[in-house]
Structure 1
Amino acid sequence: MKKPLRSVSMYYPLKSIRLIAVFFVIFALGAISLHLTSARADTSNIFIVPPQENAVAGQPTRFTLFVQNPGTTDIISKDYDSVMVTVGIDDQKRVVKAIGMEIAPDGTVTVPAGGFAKLTYEFELPQDMTGTVSLTLEDLKSSPVLFAAVPPVEPQDREEEHASQGQLVIGEKQNEFQPFLKNLSAYEPVYFLFGVDPGLEKSKFQVSFKYKLFNAPFDSRGLNSLLDGFHLAYTQTSYWDLESTSKPFNDSSYKPELFYLVPKIDLDLPWVKTFGVQGGFQHESNGKSGEDSRSTNYIYIKPIMQISLFENAYLTVAPKLWVYVMNEDENNPDLADFRGYFDLQLQAGRPMGLCLDTHTRWADAGPSIQADLSYPLTSFFNNGLNLYLHLQYFNGYAERLKEYSSKEEIFRVGFSLSR
């Protein structure tokens, strides 16, 4: 396999400059509208409505928040995706995480000016919490409420209770056999993109998810919370030649992963919205044999910081550093020369608006950049279509494992489920 010259020109063709210009013009237009419907979430008033029926110890329990916006501009915030609550009886207290049940896929909540939003949350009530239980929000200002909790129902009584309910909606009964489904969520962007330049032969799709291995009843303030950060993840990226008659897959990357996430490290800086650190082990291979086989492994660390720009705009900075472990020396011994050891992710935009996400890698062969621009289509279809319009530009090396030493420039357009 022949390597390119180490001294790589930074000249880009006129076509590339035009594509990059399109990205930044569209993004700039979205940035101009950031102030039209935005306000800070801390100007709202919050009221808790406790469970309306007796809660059952050891089982999921739901409560409602009414978020009132007395201001003159809409509040668009990601603060309500999940909340930490304290539940207690007398001197016995536990801090648990409550998950929003009807929050938008990207975690945003909109509270209209002069109006309110009704939000439903669910948490698992500790097994030993029975009687009159108090509920208080940890990070949001509100008054505590009380509700009644009863012991778990015995199996025989539960069967009689279900028999008296009559026919259930499809999905409700199946969900009883999926108690861990709430631990499954999107990870890397999920999309289907058609190749535009040079053509359909460069089409691409990606699926990705992560799974939280440990969950409640661990106390978030206790030693058991250390287990809370372990996740499994899987990402598959396939490169599809839609130009050919037989529509073959030119290459695919299969990436199982085990990582640990520390989701919150308080820096006590007013302009830092979130800060955490992720680190783990990832395998990547293309599933082929013989001369086409490619595989490697990474151990990486990735600090993640989200910075508030102006009110409802955010900038995420996530540098990722890795080392190669047990790299396949027969078919891709010099992969590091083209993929490097460092990736800088910069993501800027609005939760329900334009978002530009860039990844830049530096290697001996030269730099590589991928830019993804997305916009939610919900507003165009009366809140009936939950997809993003997605544009992607790549210029550099090692997007695909099979031809990692070849430099490519590709422009794609399509749709994404998550970004």
Structure 2
Amino acid sequence: MKILAKSFHGASKTVMIIVGLLLLLPASALAQDGLTPLFRFPSLQVQAGSELRLKVYFHNESDADFLGELPQSLALRFQDNGQKAVLVTAVEIESSPEQKIAPGEFIAKDYRLEIPNHYLGAVEVALAESPETAVLLSVKTSLPQPEQDAAVEVADTNQEDQKKQEGQEKQDHYPSLESLHSLYQPYVVNLSAYEPMFFLVGSDPEKSKFQISFKYRLFNPAGSLSQTFPWLRGLHFAYTQTSFWDLSSESAPFLDTSYKPGLFLLSSNWKNRPDWLQGFFVQAGVQHESNGRGEEFSRSTNMAYIEPIFVFFDPQTVLGLQLRPRFMMYIDNDDDTNPDLADYRGHAELEVKFGKASGLVSKTLLGFAEKGVSVQTDLTYPISKLLKSNFDIFFHLQYTNALAESLINYQKRSESLRLGVSFVR
């Protein structure tokens, strides 16, 4: 009996290995054909045991046309903090004929998969053979309203698929203008938010303020260079623009605007961090800042900086704390119009952010300079919580008591209370 049990155990293990290899075959074949699959979930908060639709983008990174069928299934690896890894098969929702994908173009295809029942909290999901595609899901036992809507959408999709198979409904491959434009923008997946984006009106309208910001990943994470030098995946171009707007004047002029292009390198999560620390990253870069004006109104500076980033996160309560000190060195500062900017901006900052992922978040920025300490506190809350998920923006309250908030008046301390909305917090 022991011999039989041992043989059965060995055979079972062999079968599991063979099944795992078979699951990996579609992704391997795609890699050989020059296709890179990237996927997107309808929501980053999911319910254990639920069935979801997964949209996968197949990007042709080779120099030749891809001609062939897209895989009927894909293997995804689910892994939690306890290092429990499970392979889950995502199955196509609708079979597709042979596809032709030109170099640099992509095609999207929908798959269906079931979230494993035994996961709870933060779970990393990646294509089994492409760990660089990993995203972090929050798996819950109870289904929040957004996921209920997603589940209903999947159910409706099943009915629509059945109708299509029965010939009762004509399929529309491009239901929106965006779906057509996306065919010509294969690199938009590299573009993402950077610093907060907001529009705020001051209690004194003369001190109103708005900001836009983005970053762009320069190297394809699945490319040969990134595979050889993994740190290249963290190299980004960034741009932030902050404007101070006088809404009290009849012509509503901009009092000053800071233009801040930069280049930075962001590390991956440090693997040897302690168990109580969910994230430790390091960002280092260079940044130029100027107000785009001339003569005596010109202000400009350059700086190099380094930021260690500490993240504490509880997946059960979805509460997080982030500590982000920044150490700065000024390079080629303008000696004519702002030679003493460092005395007012300082060489060190500390950002403290605390809050719930789907609720109230508080962020405080402290600046330490020779001429004094500066502080800015931001409170943000999802408006969708108040208006039945109809608006995807944040209510934003900001208090500032700072030196050098704007370049034009960097030697003056500015105190203001602002209220408005933000799109990225």
TM-score class normalised by the smaller sequence: 0.5 to 0.7
Other structure's SS at 1:194 match = strand
Other structure's SS at 1:391 match = strand
1:110, distance to aligned residue in structure 2 (A)? 5.0
Misfit runs of 4+, over 4 Å: 89-92, 96-99, 123-134, 146-152, 164-168
1:147, distance to aligned residue in structure 2 (A)? 6.8
Show structure 2 runs of 5+ residues with no match. Answer: 1-25, 106-170
On the 8 A contact 1:190/1:207 being kept in 2, the answer is yes
1:259 corresponds to which residue? 264
The reply to whether residue 109 of structure 1 matches residue 45 of structure 2 is yes
1:255, distance to aligned residue in structure 2 (A)? 0.3
- Higher mean displacement: 348-357 or 124-133: 124-133
* 2:355 aligned residue (341, 349, 357): 349
Amino acid at match of 1:350: K
* 2:191 aligned residue (184, 189, 196): 184
Amino acid at match of 1:232: F
**Deviation per CA, 1:146-198, whole angstroms, max 9, x where unpaired?**
8799986276xx9xxxxx978753222111111111111111000000001xx
* 2:417 aligned residue (402, 411, 415): 411
Output the CA distance in 1 between the equivalents of 2:253 and 2:30: 65
TM-score between both structures, scaled by the size of structure 2: 0.67
The reply to whether residue 402 of structure 1 matches residue 408 of structure 2 is yes
Output the CA distance in 1 between the equivalents of 2:248 and 2:54: 47
1:89, distance to aligned residue in structure 2 (A)? 5.8
Distance 1:365 1:383, change over 3 A: same
Output the CA distance in 1 between the equivalents of 2:227 and 2:76: 19
Amino acid at match of 2:390: G
- Higher mean displacement: 232-241 or 172-181: 172-181
Other structure's SS at 1:367 match = strand
Amino acid at match of 1:145: T
Q: Of the two structures, which has the highest relative contact order with CA contacts closer than 8 Å and spacing of 6 or more?
A: 1
2:216 corresponds to which residue? 211
- Higher mean displacement: 339-348 or 373-382: 373-382
Distance 1:124 1:405, change over 3 A: same
Amino acid at match of 1:195: G
**Deviation per CA, 1:89-147, whole angstroms, max 9, x where unpaired?**
6999x9x88443433xxxx5253xx8736352535478699897762316353334387
Output the CA distance in 2 between the equivalents of 1:131 and 1:240: 51
1:88, distance to aligned residue in structure 2 (A)? 3.5
Number of residue pairs the alignment of both structures matches: 320
Other structure's SS at 1:370 match = strand
* 1:321 aligned residue (327, 339, 352): 327
On the 8 A contact 2:300/2:333 being kept in 1, the answer is yes
1:308 corresponds to which residue? 313
- Higher mean displacement: 280-289 or 129-138: 129-138
- Higher mean displacement: 322-331 or 207-216: 207-216
- Higher mean displacement: 122-131 or 321-330: 122-131
2:22 corresponds to which residue? none
Distance 1:154 1:341, change over 3 A: closer
Output the CA distance in 1 between the equivalents of 2:225 and 2:77: 14
1:381, distance to aligned residue in structure 2 (A)? 1.8
TM-score between both structures, scaled by the size of structure 1: 0.68
2:207 corresponds to which residue? 202
The reply to whether residue 143 of structure 1 matches residue 150 of structure 2 is no
- Higher mean displacement: 118-127 or 332-341: 118-127
Distance 1:241 1:154, change over 3 A: closer
On the 8 A contact 1:101/1:122 being kept in 2, the answer is no
1:390, distance to aligned residue in structure 2 (A)? 0.2
1:276 corresponds to which residue? 281
1:118 corresponds to which residue? 52
2:160 corresponds to which residue? none
The reply to whether residue 293 of structure 1 matches residue 233 of structure 2 is no
1:216, distance to aligned residue in structure 2 (A)? 4.2
The reply to whether residue 153 of structure 1 matches residue 100 of structure 2 is yes
Output the CA distance in 1 between the equivalents of 2:423 and 2:383: 11
Distance 1:296 1:118, change over 3 A: same
1:77 corresponds to which residue? none
- Higher mean displacement: 221-230 or 200-209: 221-230
Other structure's SS at 1:139 match = strand
Other structure's SS at 1:348 match = strand
Distance 1:351 1:125, change over 3 A: same
